[in-house]
Every structure is written in structure tokens, then in C-alpha cells.
Homo-oligomer: A and B are copies of this chain.
């Protein structure tokens, strides 16, 4: 049937696009940086090495699971280094690698833009939300 062929073609096109998108460096990095706890952890580690427990306290909103999971991801990408000394009790320390440190200026640029324009965004939101119920008195 013609219709299902067209649908299949669209699906295929999407799959191909999805693949190429997954390979896009910018998207991959943005994906990581956008993860819920990444920017917080990066900022904390920017101040110096931290033990697991210290990070847990500093980033109090994250559950232990998410903290570990996020750190593993950052470690895998070579942004964070993990070192263990002693095994009872274990003493684990996380610190930024040079690669991770090189990301800080980028984060700083984002931060600067954000703090400068968050007011504009909030204003736009307020305006949008106020005007949106346009059907209200129809």
C-alpha cells in the first residue's frame, strides 16, 4: 500500500537522522552537560578534589544512586578521574581531569549568558503565559 510505504520511508529517514544526530559532537556534549547533576558536580569539582561523601553533601539534591551514576558517566568520558586509597574504610576521591577542566570555561560562558538573560526569559514567559489563554473570553 502506498500509505504504509510512505510511512516506512519516513520512519527510515528518521532512523538515519537519529543516527547521524547521535554522532554529532555538539549534541553529545550538550546531552551530557544537560544531565541533571553534571553542572553541579563539575562546579563542585572545579573547587578541588572531593571525596564521595563530600560530593553527596555538596550536591544534596542527588540521590546516592544518581551521584554514582553521573560520576561513572563523567569518568567514562574522561572528564573526571577517580582514585581509591584503602579498602576498609574505602577512601575514594574524584577530581577533574585536564579535559574536564578544559570544559569549565565553556560552562562559564553558558553561566554568564544565563545570568545575564534569565530575566529576559522570565519576562518572556510571563508575557506568553499571560497572553496564551486567548480564548478565555471568546
Contacts and interface: CB of A to CB of B under 8 A. Distances in A.
Contact of A39 (B26, B118, B124): B26
- What is the oligomeric copy number? 2
Given A76-B129, A77-B125, A78-B124, A106 B99 contact: no
A110 B124 CA distance: 25
Contacts of A106: 109-110, 113
A99 B30 CA distance: 20
Interface in A61-96: 61, 63, 75-79
Interface residue range, chain A = 35 or more
A18 interface: yes
A113 B128 CA distance: 34
B40 A110 contact: no
A39 B110 CA distance: 14
Given A76-B129, A77-B124, A78-B125, A29 B113 contact: yes
Interface string A1-40: 0000000000001100110010001111111011100011
